[in-house]
Structure 1
Amino acid sequence: MTSTASRRPILDKPFVLDLFAGPGGLDVAGHSLGIPSLGIEWDRSACLTRYAAGLDTLHADVSAIRRDAFESLPPESNVLAGGPPCQTYSVAGHGAGRQALDRVREYIERLMAGESDQKIDEDLKTLSDPRTALVLEPLRYAIQATRSPNRENRPYDVIVLEQVPAVAPLWEHYAKVLEETGLPDRTKYKVVVDVLATETYGVPQTRSRAVLIARREGLGEPSLPAPTHRSYEAKEWNRRNGTSEPGQDADQVHQPTLCEGTASSKSDADLRPWRSMRDALANPAGTHPGRATPFLVRSNYGSSGNPGRRGVRTDRQPAATVTGRISRFVVFEHLDENIVHEGPRFSMNEAGMLQSFPPDYPWSGTAQAQQVGNAVPPLFGAHLLSAALGLPRPAPEALRKPWQPATEEQRTKLRSNGCGAADTCTDRCPRPKDQVPPPSSVRPPRSRKASAK
Structure 2
Amino acid sequence: MTSTAPHQSILDKPYVLDLFAGPGGLDVAGQALDVPSLGIEWDRSACLTRYAAGLDTLHADVSAVRRDSFESLPPEINVLAGGPPCQTYSVAGRGAGRKALEDVKKYIERLMAGEPDEEIDKELKKLSDPRTAMVLEPLRYAIQATRSPNRDHRPYDVIVLEQVPAVEALWHHYALVLENTGLPDGTKYKAVVDVLDTETYGVPQTRSRAVLIARRVGLGEPALPTPTHRAYEAKEWNRRSDQVSPQPHQPTLDEDSAPESAGGSEKDDDLQPWVSMGQALPGREKPFLVRSNYGSSGNPGRRGVRTDQQPAATVTGRISRFVVFEHIDEDIVCEGPRFSMDEAGMLQSFPPDYPWSGTAQAQQVGNAVPPLFGAHILSAALGLPAPDPQALREPWVPATEEQRAKLRSQGCGAADACTARCPRPEEQTPPRSTARPRKDKKAQKR
Into which bin does the TM-score normalised by the smaller protein fall? over 0.9
Contact 2:322 2:338 in 1 (8 A): yes
Q: Does 1:425 align with 2:418?
A: yes
In structure 2, the partner of 1:339 is 332
Output the CA distance in 2 between the equivalents of 1:251 and 1:180: 52
Q: Output the amino acid matched with 2:96.
A: A
Q: Does 1:95 align with 2:95?
A: yes
Counterpart of 1:411 (choices 401, 404, 411) is 404
Q: Structure 1 residues 302 and 358, CA, compared in 2 at 3 Å: closer, same or farther?
A: farther
Q: Does 1:388 align with 2:381?
A: yes
Q: Output the amino acid matched with 2:94.
A: H
In structure 2, the partner of 1:73 is 73
Give TM-score scaled by structure 2 length.
0.95
Spell out, residue by residue over 1:302-322, the C-alpha distance to the aligned partner (whole angstroms, 9 max, x if none): 69xx76796100000000000
Spell out, residue by residue over 1:61-116, the C-alpha distance to the aligned partner (whole angstroms, 9 max, x if none): 00000000000001000000010000000011000000000000010010000000
Output the CA distance in 1 between the equivalents of 2:253 and 2:181: 57
Q: Output the amino acid matched with 1:281.
A: L
How far did residue 340 of structure 1 move?
1.0
Q: Output the amino acid matched with 1:118.
A: E
Contact 1:244 1:250 in 2 (8 A): no
Q: Structure 1 residues 297 and 164, CA, compared in 2 at 3 Å: closer, same or farther?
A: same
In structure 1, the partner of 2:254 is 253
In structure 2, the partner of 1:328 is 321
**SS where residue 239 of structure 2 aligns?**
helix
Bigger CA drift: 339-348 or 294-303?
294-303
Contact 2:259 2:274 in 1 (8 A): no
How far did residue 250 of structure 1 move?
6.5
Q: Output the amino acid matched with 2:395.
A: P
Output the CA distance in 1 between the equivalents of 2:30 and 2:303: 31
**SS where residue 195 of structure 1 aligns?**
strand
Q: Structure 1 residues 90 and 244, CA, compared in 2 at 3 Å: closer, same or farther?
A: farther
In structure 2, the partner of 1:374 is 367
Output the CA distance in 2 between the equivalents of 1:404 and 1:172: 39
Alignment of structure 1 residues 354-373 onto 2, 5 Å = 354-373=347-366
Q: Structure 1 residues 317 and 252, CA, compared in 2 at 3 Å: closer, same or farther?
A: closer
Q: Does 1:122 align with 2:122?
A: yes
Q: Structure 1 residues 26 and 310, CA, compared in 2 at 3 Å: closer, same or farther?
A: farther
Output the CA distance in 1 between the equivalents of 2:360 and 2:30: 25
Q: Output the amino acid matched with 2:184.
A: P
How far did residue 338 of structure 1 move?
2.5
Alignment of structure 1 residues 1-400 onto 2, 5 Å = 1-242=1-242, 248=249, 253-256=254-257, 259-260=259-260, 262=262, 264-282=264-282, 290-301=283-294, 311-400=304-393
Output the CA distance in 2 between the equivalents of 1:272 and 1:359: 22
Counterpart of 1:435 (choices 423, 428, 435) is 428
Output the CA distance in 2 between the equivalents of 1:267 and 1:11: 33
Contact 1:247 1:340 in 2 (8 A): no
Give TM-score scaled by structure 1 length.
0.93
Q: Output the amino acid matched with 1:237.
A: W
Output the CA distance in 1 between the equivalents of 2:70 and 2:274: 42
Contact 1:17 1:37 in 2 (8 A): yes
How far did residue 261 of structure 1 move?
5.7
Contact 1:246 1:340 in 2 (8 A): no
How far did residue 301 of structure 1 move?
3.2
Q: Output the amino acid matched with 1:333.
A: E
Spell out, residue by residue over 1:225-271, the C-alpha distance to the aligned partner (whole angstroms, 9 max, x if none): 00000000001001111499996557960222x64365632221000
Q: Structure 1 residues 4 and 445, CA, compared in 2 at 3 Å: closer, same or farther?
A: farther
Contact 1:278 1:293 in 2 (8 A): no
Bigger CA drift: 36-45 or 307-316?
307-316
In structure 2, the partner of 1:286 is none
Output the CA distance in 2 between the equivalents of 1:179 and 1:372: 34
How far did residue 444 of structure 1 move?
8.6
List alignment gaps of at least 5 residues for structure 1. Answer: 283-289
Bigger CA drift: 382-391 or 291-300?
291-300
Contact 2:237 2:263 in 1 (8 A): no
Spell out, residue by residue over 1:278-319, the C-alpha distance to the aligned partner (whole angstroms, 9 max, x if none): 00002xxxxxxx11221000001369xx76796100000000
Output the CA distance in 2 between the equivalents of 1:343 and 1:390: 44
Contact 1:50 1:56 in 2 (8 A): yes
Q: Structure 1 residues 5 and 247, CA, compared in 2 at 3 Å: closer, same or farther?
A: farther
**SS where residue 2 of structure 1 aligns?**
coil
**SS where residue 390 of structure 2 aligns?**
coil
Output the CA distance in 1 between the equivalents of 2:57 and 2:338: 31
Greater than 4 Å deviation, 4+ residue runs? 243-252, 306-310
Output the CA distance in 1 between the equivalents of 2:58 and 2:245: 46
Spell out, residue by residue over 1:311-369, the C-alpha distance to the aligned partner (whole angstroms, 9 max, x if none): 10000000000000000000000112321110000000000000000000000000000
Contact 2:249 2:333 in 1 (8 A): no
How far did residue 12 of structure 1 move?
0.0
How far did residue 4 of structure 1 move?
3.1
Sequence identity percentage: 77
Spell out, residue by residue over 1:118-147, the C-alpha distance to the aligned partner (whole angstroms, 9 max, x if none): 000000011000000000000000000000
Output the CA distance in 1 between the equivalents of 2:123 and 2:67: 16
In structure 2, the partner of 1:287 is none
Output the CA distance in 1 between the equivalents of 2:54 and 2:33: 16
Contact 1:42 1:430 in 2 (8 A): yes
**SS where residue 389 of structure 2 aligns?**
coil
Q: Output the amino acid matched with 1:372.
A: V
Contact 1:215 1:222 in 2 (8 A): yes
Output the CA distance in 2 between the equivalents of 1:261 and 1:83: 34
**SS where residue 260 of structure 2 aligns?**
coil
